[in-house]
Structure 1
Amino acid sequence: MVPAMSDEEFDEAVGVALESIPERLASKIDNVAVFVEDVYTPEPWEDPETTLLGLYEGIPLTERGEAPWAMPDRITLYKEPILSICSSREEVVEQVRITVVHEVAHYFGIDDETLHRLGWG
C-alpha cells in the first residue's frame, strides 16, 4: 500500500534529509537549488517509461572551473515514484534520505557506478 503524504510532509522529509548531510560536506554545497516535483517527464530521446526518484542537473564540482556566473545546479526529487516503492512513512523518509545523498553525491562528482558499489544506488 502506497503511504499517503501531503506535499508539506514530503517537503519536510526532504528538509530533514538535507539537514542530515554532515557539516563538513554541507558547507561545500553552494549554488544548488532543490525542488520536488510529482514525476519525471522523460526527454524525447529517452525511453518513455523512464522513472526517476531524483535527478542532479549541473556541473559537478570535480568538473567546474572558476565560473562565478554559473547558473545554480538543480536537484529534483520525484514524489510519486518514491511513494510508489515505499510501504510506510518511515520507508519514504529513508528513501528520500537515500535519494538526497545520491543526488548530492553527483554534485561532488561521484558517479552512479561508485554510488551503487557503496550502497547508495
Structure 2
Amino acid sequence: MREFGLPVTLDEMEALGRAAIAALPQAFAEQLGDVVFAVEDFADEETLHELGMENPFELTGVYEGHALTERSIEMSGQLPTRIRLFRRPILDEWAERGDEALEHLVRHVVIHEIGHHFGLSDEDMHALEDMADR
C-alpha cells in the first residue's frame, strides 16, 4: 500500500494502473485487445477543451475511442483506442480524500475508463470495481 507523502513517478502510477488491469476478470481483460494505456502528468489543452474543462486538476482519466458497442467495420483506419490517466489530479484527489490507498483510487479511475470501452453505465462500472476488489 502506497503511503501519503512519498513521491509517485509516472512509471509507478503506470504500474498501479497496469496492476488494476491485471486484476480484472479474465472475460473483461481479454476484450481490451489493443487498447493503449498511458499515464501523463496532466491532460493537454486540446483534451480539456474537447471535454469543456478548464482546470486540468478536474480530469483524472480519459477514454479516447469508440466503445465496443459502437464500433463498425467502417471505422478502420482510426487512431488506436487509448486510456490515459493523469498523475497530478489523481494525487491531488488522493491527498484530499486522505482515507484510502492510492492503489484503490487508481483502480477506480482505470475501471471507470475501461467501462467506457465496454459502453457500461456508471452502475455497471461500480459492480466491475467490486469484482476487482475481491
Above 0.5 in TM-score?
yes
Gaps of 5+ in 1: none
Partner of 1:59: 66
Aligned residue pair count: 118
The CA distance in 2 between the partners of 1:117 and 1:17, in whole Å, is: 14
Partners of 2:36 and 2:82 within 8 A in 1: yes
Gaps of 5+ in 2: 130-134
Partner of 1:75: 83
Partner of 2:14: 11
TM-score normalised over the length of structure 2: 0.73
User: Which 4+ residue blocks in structure 1 deviate beyond 3 angstroms?
Assistant: 67-70, 114-120
Q: 1:60 to 1:46 in 2, by over 3 A?
A: same
Partners of 1:2 and 1:84 within 8 A in 2: no
Structure with the higher helix share, 1 or 2: 2
Provide, for residues 55-93 of structure 1, a one-character-per-residue CA deviation record: whole Å limited to 9, x for no partner. 0010100111124544310100000011111147x6211
Q: 1:19 to 1:62 in 2, by over 3 A?
A: same
Partners of 2:115 and 2:125 within 8 A in 1: no
Partners of 2:68 and 2:117 within 8 A in 1: yes
Asked if 1:104 is matched to 2:114, the reply is: yes
Asked if 1:48 is matched to 2:58, the reply is: no
Q: Percent identity?
A: 29
